[in-house]
């Protein structure tokens, strides 16, 4: 039995108990680990902080982290005003109260929105306090972190107004990535880049647009394996709305990026944004061209949908038959189709008046 009990096994049980909200059994597990003569490690420290955060005792968690950090610095004879907190513990304090931040980070990246930089109440003081003791993130630490971890750090830095530091952390992480990435890793890496684009896309105008493109190319040069998606172009085109020649510039940007990155850079949302900007400028020819492309793309989607109907709405994924969601089986039942219908009406009205 002693061979089975170890610090790692206790940490696994404690993590499982916290995950299933069995908070009352966690202190007993820590006492049993101490009674068995096992030494707690950084993972145990992180789980203890997670328990306090989940039960609403943030101040107690911070005081415990402070005591342990000061004790560690005294043993290593460090003379620094900033606490040396491990990054895994710092993340638990910063934004992992219910793990909703992990999901929210990439939802904001996917939707192109990011929360405002104003934080109210105790959250503001906590954010500033934690950012004051931000652990150093060098190339070694970046290589060991996941895109989700970097996303948490970058999102909160942008939220409190430290965009320059967030950009440096992102660039250091991208440089530590290998030359080849899987499809999932590439998508998560682009979600990290989209956080910067979404935060800077709120600035409108031609100067802001080209500054946004420079930011994108700088981050892409740091990681050759990252490939822009249609969401990347959709965020870039947002800053062109107040410009005079917004439709012409959007169409030129679409052609440039499609020639450089391939047809996957163009999506229905990108075509609709280009058509909307073209209508704002008065370029009906560009809007009609986007409508024509969307019609051809809808025909190809209809052919794919008819094949799915023959298969009963199922598809083979990794040797298993899975049923697709209803929005893929009936693509006409979506907000996108209603927006395209309204856009076509506007084009029809403007073409009749001219």
Judged against a pLDDT cut of 50, whether residue 103 lies above it is answered with no
Q: What is the pLDDT of residue 223?
A: 86
Judged against a pLDDT cut of 60, whether residue 96 lies above it is answered with no
Q: What is the pTM of this model?
A: 0.66
Q: What is the pLDDT of residue 313?
A: 55
Mean pLDDT, residues 291-308 taken together = 78
Judged against a pLDDT cut of 80, whether residue 275 lies above it is answered with yes
Q: What is the pLDDT of residue 116?
A: 38
Q: What is the 3-state secondary structure (H, E, C) of 184-210?
A: HHHHHHHHHHHHHHHHHCCCCCHHHHH
**Which one, of 310, 305, 300, lies nearest residue 333 by Cα?**
305
Q: Coil, strand or helix: which one is 136?
A: coil
**Per mean pLDDT, which of 82-86, 129-133, 290-294 is the most reliable?**
290-294
Non-local (6+) Cβ contacts of 9 within 8 A are: none
Judged against a pLDDT cut of 80, whether residue 333 lies above it is answered with no
**Which one, of 339, 332, 337, 231, lies nearest residue 276 by Cα?**
339
* Segment (H or E) for 322: strand 320-323
Q: What is the pLDDT of residue 255?
A: 93
284-310 vs 335-353: helix crossing angle, rounded to 10:
150
DSSP 8-state code for residue 233 = H
Bridge partners for 15 per DSSP = none
Average pLDDT of the chain is: 77
Q: What is the pLDDT of residue 199?
A: 84
CA distances from 80 to 86, 143, 165, 181, 208 (A): 15, 25, 20, 38, 39
Q: What is the pLDDT of residue 122?
A: 57
Judged against a pLDDT cut of 50, whether residue 105 lies above it is answered with no
pLDDT band at 76 (very low <50, low <70, confident <90, very high): low
Which pLDDT tens digit goes with each residue over 153-192? 788 778 777 788 788 888 888 888 887 888 788 888 888 8
DSSP 8-state code for residue 55 = T
> Would you put residue 161 in left (φ > 0), alpha (ψ -120 to 50) or beta?
left
Judged against a pLDDT cut of 90, whether residue 252 lies above it is answered with yes
CA distances from 77 to 71, 73, 74, 211 (A): 10, 6, 5, 45
Which pLDDT tens digit goes with each residue over 256-273? 999 998 888 998 899 999
pLDDT band at 110 (very low <50, low <70, confident <90, very high): very low
**Which one, of 50, 56, 59, lies nearest residue 19 by Cα?**
50
As a whole-number percent, the residues of the chain with pLDDT over 70 amount to: 75
CA distance 120 to 103: 21
Whether 279 contacts 273, CB under 8 Å: no
Which pLDDT tens digit goes with each residue over 25-75? 998 999 988 888 888 888 888 898 888 888 888 888 888 888 888 877 776
Instruction: Spell out where the chain has E strands.
Output: 314-317, 320-323
Judged against a pLDDT cut of 60, whether residue 101 lies above it is answered with no
Q: What is the dihedral of CA 83, 88, 90, 93, to 10 degrees?
A: -140
Whether 325 contacts 345, CB under 8 Å: no
pLDDT band at 137 (very low <50, low <70, confident <90, very high): low
């Amino acid at each position: 039995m002693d061979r089975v009990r170890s610090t790692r096994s206790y940490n696994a049980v404690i993590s499982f108990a916290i995950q299933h909200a069995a908070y009352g059994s966690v202190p007993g597990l820590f006492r049993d680990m101490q009674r068995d003569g096992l030494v707690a490690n950084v993972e145990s420290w992180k789980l203890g902080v997670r328990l306090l955060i989940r039960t609403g005792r943030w101040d107690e968690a911070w005081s415990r982290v402070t005591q342990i950090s000061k004790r560690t610095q005294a043993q290593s004879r460090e003379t620094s005003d900033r606490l040396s907190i491990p990054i895994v513990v710092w993340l638990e304090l910063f934004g992992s109260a219910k793990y909703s931040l992990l999901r929210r980070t990439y939802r904001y990246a996917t939707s192109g929105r990011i929360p405002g930089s104003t934080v109210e109440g105790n959250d503001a003081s906590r954010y500033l306090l934690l950012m004051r003791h931000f652990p150093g993130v060098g190339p070694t630490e970046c290589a060991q972190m996941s895109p989700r971890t970097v996303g948490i750090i970058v999102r909160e830095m942008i939220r409190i107004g430290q965009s320059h530091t967030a950009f440096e952390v992102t660039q250091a992480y991208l440089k530590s990535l290998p030359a080849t990435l899987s499809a999932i890793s590439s998508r998560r890496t682009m979600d990290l880049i989209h956080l910067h684009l979404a935060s800077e896309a709120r600035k409108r105008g031609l100067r802001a647009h080209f500054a946004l493109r420079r930011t994108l190319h700088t981050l892409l040069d740091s990681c050759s394996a990252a490939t822009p998606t249609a969401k990347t172009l959709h965020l870039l085109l947002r800053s062109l709305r107040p410009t005079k020649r917004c439709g012409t510039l959007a169409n030129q940007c679409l052609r440039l990026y499609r020639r450089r990155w391939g047809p996957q850079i163009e999506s229905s949302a990108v075509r609709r944004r280009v058509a909307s900007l073209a209508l704002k400028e008065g370029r009906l020819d560009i809007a009609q061209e986007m409508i024509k492309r969307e019609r051809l793309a809808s025909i190809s989607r209809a052919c794919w949908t008819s094949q799915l109907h023959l298969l009963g709405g199922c598809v083979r994924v990794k040797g298993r038959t899975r049923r697709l969601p209803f929005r893929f089986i009936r693509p006409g039942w979506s907000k996108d189709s209603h927006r395209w219908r309204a856009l076509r009406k506007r084009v029809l009205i403007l073409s009749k008046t001219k």
